[in-house]
Chain A
Amino acid sequence: MTRIAVLKTYKLFIGGAFPRTESGRYYKIQNKANETIANVGLSSRKDFRNAVVAVRKAQDAWQGRAAFNKSQIIYRIAEILEGRKVQFVEELISQGSTKASAEKEVQMSIDRCVYYSGWCDKYQAIYSSVNPVATSHFNFSVPEPMGVVSIIASDETSLLGFISALLPCIVGGNTCIVLASSSKPLSAITFAEVLATSDVPAGIINILTGKEKELHTHFSNHMDVNAVVYCRTDKAIWKTIAQNASLNIKRSFWWNKDWAKSESENPYLIMDLQEIKTTWHPIENIGVSGAKY
């Protein structure tokens, strides 16, 4: 008698834990042979709300971490991914990729982690400025994270697209709730397992699975979300997201990109999710301004 395979249940990833969806609803993921390979949660509005609570709690601490430390944490993700390469390749294949493309996607995903890990403590230097104001003040502008970001990740490139959207977000000190690819969600949840066993603090990356049509409204109208990023292709959905964003002047971005391209990794994506803060302080100028007293 052949052995019955143990089918894994793919749960959500919220606040560092793996809860089942509050909706109690699931959908089936099938392979090319139409065999069910997994049950995946259909996240609800309430799941999203819970995720926002978790992510908001994690925001300040993540933002406050030293940039060098962030860099190490993200590099650690790359290391663990590398060690579990085989599993990711297999998962991609089971979701319809060829072996060659699966291997390529996993490699690129790991390399992208390495790439962004290096940006953690560098983009600030490049996009900051010391501003030569006319009055006797020291004036400088620095990027600061926007805060909580909701991301609807690419449907197609389920691992690379997912990683490519969330990295610029967290590298910049933001925290996020990401909707995994709806048709191929397995890599994202397995990636969550990587996160759970790496040094990534609980709550800064939260992963939901489900349908964009059911979730895009919640991803865009929650008043405690600072920015929303849409990485899919449906114009009508994008419009709704952009409209909902206006409820609290949410920053909204449509990253409609081919993530396999090398130019799809760049610091301008980090900067999309940064505010610029300008600080002023007087400069005492006894010498410069001549004999004052």
Chain B
Amino acid sequence: MLDLSNIPVIDQVGVEERIARLNSRSIKKESKLQGLHLALSMIDLTTLEGKDTAGKVRQMCYKAMHPADDIPGLPTVAAVCVYPNHVKTAKTALGNSGINVASVATAFPSGNSSLKVKLADTKLAIDNGADEIDMVISRGEFLSGNSKFVYDEIATIKEACGNARLKVIFETGELSTLDNIRLVSEIAMQAGADFIKTSTGKIQPAATMPVTLVMLHAIKDYHEKTGKMVGMKPAGGISTSKQALQYLVMLYETLGGAWMTNEWFRFGASSLANDILLQLHKEQSGVYYSGDYISKD
């Protein structure tokens, strides 16, 4: 049963002050290395373009498994994220690497379709072997006050996911206020989301720190109340190592060490991995690197 009582309000200025303070942490030396390795392991390497092809997906999958073979001891990314029709290609390419295949579904990115189509979309991805489903919510319904609709839709998709983990995308750039974001987080978690996710990457602004912090607080409160852990995935707009470390500091100081794993935190990003590799090269060699030394797939 959807219960939306006692959901705290959010003060935007207070959130931004907290972010400013978190960002004043200075992550250097071994703590930076540790953070960069972790961030790399949390990436959902993503391609979600109309022009995606099997060839493109296979190249990305190789990159996912071999981020930089010249740096020893690197983790792989957590997952690759593709459209449902490319799941099979990705699944094959990744073999038994342990890297998950995540698929967007439910009429991504707008979510404007019938439940029937959304279920079929989800089923296609699952049948093709997706380990994770990234669904979008119906923002129109949410903004018109129809929380129950959003809740039911998520719950239905969750059921269709079977063993696959469900990430619920809010498209926070369309939701207008932090109060809305706090509310929709609650709806999604109660409906069974395994992860809550900020954005599709198709709408600006995508992930931001204030939005992510509000969602982390929602996860924390939900965990306090139910004992259930829910994961967090900021997606879109996080392209630098510095940003990634700031998100990790925020995660660490809000939810603690238990969430500091790709089991519970992901970055939805396409170019972040290479910036992390640039930084790791620099840490290894002591000189600043050029993009020419990093593979671009």
Instruction: Answer whether A and B touch in the complex at a CB cut-off of 8 Å.
Output: yes
Contact B13 A293 (CB under 8 A): no
**Cβ < 8 Å to A, chain B residues 159-176:** 172-173, 175-176
Q: How many interface residues does B have (CB within 8 Å)? A: 17
Question: CA of A289 to CA of B19 in the docked complex: distance in angstroms?
Answer: 14
Residues in A neighbouring B59, C-beta threshold 8 A: none
Contact A282 B204 (CB under 8 A): no
Residues in A neighbouring B105, C-beta threshold 8 A: none
Contact B173 A293 (CB under 8 A): yes
- Chain A's closest residue to B214 (CB) is A293
Contact A293 B11 (CB under 8 A): no
Q: When the two chains form the complex, which single residue of A137, A282, A284, A291 contacts B205, counting CB atoms closer than 8 Å?
A: A291
Asked whether any CB of chain A lies closer than 8 Å to the CB of B273, the reply is: no
Contact B181 A293 (CB under 8 A): yes
Contact B181 A282 (CB under 8 A): no
Question: CA of A284 to CA of B13 in the docked complex: distance in angstroms?
Answer: 6
Question: CA of A292 to CA of B237 in the docked complex: distance in angstroms?
Answer: 12
Q: How many interface residues does A have (CB within 8 Å)? A: 12
- Chain A's closest residue to B177 (CB) is A286
Shortest CB-to-CB span from B49 to chain A, Å, is 23
Asked whether any CB of chain B lies closer than 8 Å to the CB of A248, the reply is: no
Name the prevailing secondary structure of the A interface residues: loop
Name the prevailing secondary structure of the B interface residues: helix
- Chain B's closest residue to A284 (CB) is B12
Asked whether any CB of chain A lies closer than 8 Å to the CB of B128, the reply is: no
Shortest CB-to-CB span from A245 to chain B, Å, is 40
Question: CA of A289 to CA of B16 in the docked complex: distance in angstroms?
Answer: 11
Asked whether any CB of chain B lies closer than 8 Å to the CB of A136, the reply is: yes
Question: CA of A284 to CA of B9 in the docked complex: distance in angstroms?
Answer: 13
Mask of A262-290 contacts with B, CB within 8 angstroms, 1/0: 00000000000000000000111110010
List A residues at the B interface (Cβ < 8 Å). 135-137, 282-286, 289, 291-293
11 cross-chain CB contacts under 8 A: A136-B13, A282-B13, A283-B13, A286-B12, A286-B177, A291-B204, A291-B205, A292-B16, A292-B205, A293-B181, A293-B210
Please give 4 more A-B residue pairs, beta carbons under 8 A apart, in addition to A285-B13, A292-B208, A292-B210. Answer: A137-B13, A283-B13, A284-B13, A293-B210
